[in-house]
């Protein structure tokens, strides 16, 4: 990872914190916010390696669905949310 990619990831770190806060409202207390944060930040690192700055979208737009997916995956693995999306509460409710 080069210096520019490191800056992009550092600048996008608050995005992970925002998504963790959103998911914390539906996550059970035993699911550690740190685990969700780590998964989200790891996803930022993966996303920056795939990001094309000439692709017409900002890094945040590119990374947001990936970060949400990584954190949702942590919730699914933990059994915190059902596999059926119609049974799950909406994020933020």
**pLDDT tens track for 59-91:** 999 999 999 999 888 877 766 555 555 554 555
Query: What does the DSSP assignment read for 8-29?
Result: HHHHHHHHHHHHHHHHHTTS-T
Angstrom CA distances, 80 to 19, 46, 91, stand at 16, 25, 13
Which fold is adopted by the domain 3-78? Rna Polymerase Sigma Factor; Chain: A (1.10.1740)
CA 39 to CA 15: how far, in whole Å?
A: 13
Convert the pLDDT of each residue in 13-29 to its tens digit. 999 999 999 888 777 66
DSSP at 86: T
25 CB contacts (<8 Å, ≥6 apart)?
91, 92, 93
pTM: predicted TM-score of the whole model, two decimal places: 0.76
């Amino acid at each position: 990872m080069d210096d520019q990619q490191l800056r992009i990831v550092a600048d996008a770190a608050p995005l992970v914190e925002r998504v963790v806060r959103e998911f914390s409202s539906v996550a059970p207390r035993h699911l550690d916010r740190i685990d969700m944060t780590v998964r989200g930040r790891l996803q930022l690192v993966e996303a920056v390696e795939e990001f094309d700055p000439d692709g017409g979208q900002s890094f945040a737009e590119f990374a947001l669905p990936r970060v949400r997916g990584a954190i949702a995956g942590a919730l699914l693995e933990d059994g915190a949310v059902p596999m059926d999306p119609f049974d799950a509460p909406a994020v933020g409710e």
